[in-house]
Amino acid sequence: RTAPYLAPAPAAPPTPAPPRCVRAAQCAVCKGRRAAAPTAMSFHWPPLESNPEIFSDYMHTVGLPAQWAFGEVFGFDEDLLAFLPQPVIAVVANVERLKKQEEKARGDPALPVQFYMKQTGNLDNACGVIACVHAVYNNLAAMGGLPEQSVLGKHLAATSAMTPEERAAALDSNTDFQAVHVSKAAEGDSAQPSEQSDVRHHFVAFVLVDGKLVELDGTKAGPLLVAESCDDVLRGTIEVIKQRLEAGEYSDRLSLMTLNANPDGM
């Protein structure tokens, strides 16, 4: 006796793909998805505008004491420098490097400074915050220290015994810094670049270490001694910038900011 024929059950219909929003650029839901806080694994560091208000707000949010802020250098003439609040304890330069490979080969990993970190590939456009970290952490005595429970204070405690490369990894995974960074990168008048090749400028810091002028740039081989004797970080940095302009190392599209006393925070 043959078994009765049973027709196979119809295949389940494929699960339809979620409808694609045809108004993604304007849709509030889509905007919310794009603006969601990125995870440490997926985060890319957007560039910051060279703007002292943005830098001051950023650093105050992460723990820079209110008595200190960033100021803008409007020119190299003495009458313009006289407008800057005193004291100036560090300079952050935003420059377009014309000889990048030569620049990156400079520096001495053995040169003693209070804090130095590398800028690895993951920290693609984090040079602005790295320059700030270098400026702040190498002037702790002048500033009277940092609040221990601030982002800056906790990050310093966690990384003080690390190598420059380990410090880079620690910053890259610091979600407290990430949250502040992405909000401040959205401020200012400059449009965010659509391609990495559109990012042409780079932030570096200049500080005084035991009466010497030192450049701190995470893309270099290490801290760079630029003047054996210096007692004025601002004017010393300006001389270095002038020399590099004359040597064709920098384009004339640059800006300088100072880490200085904050008259509004006294």
Q: Which residues are catalytic?
A: 127, 202
The residues, ordered by sequence, that sit 6+ positions from 233 with a Cβ below 8 Å of its Cβ are: 88, 89, 90, 91, 206, 207, 208, 213
Residue 150 vs residues 61, 144, 153, 157, 177: alpha-carbon distances, Å: 9, 14, 5, 11, 11
CA distance 150 to 154: 6
| Structure-block tokens of residue 171 | 């910053």
Sheet of 224-227: strand order equals 68-73, 255-261, 88-95, 202-209, 212-216, 224-227
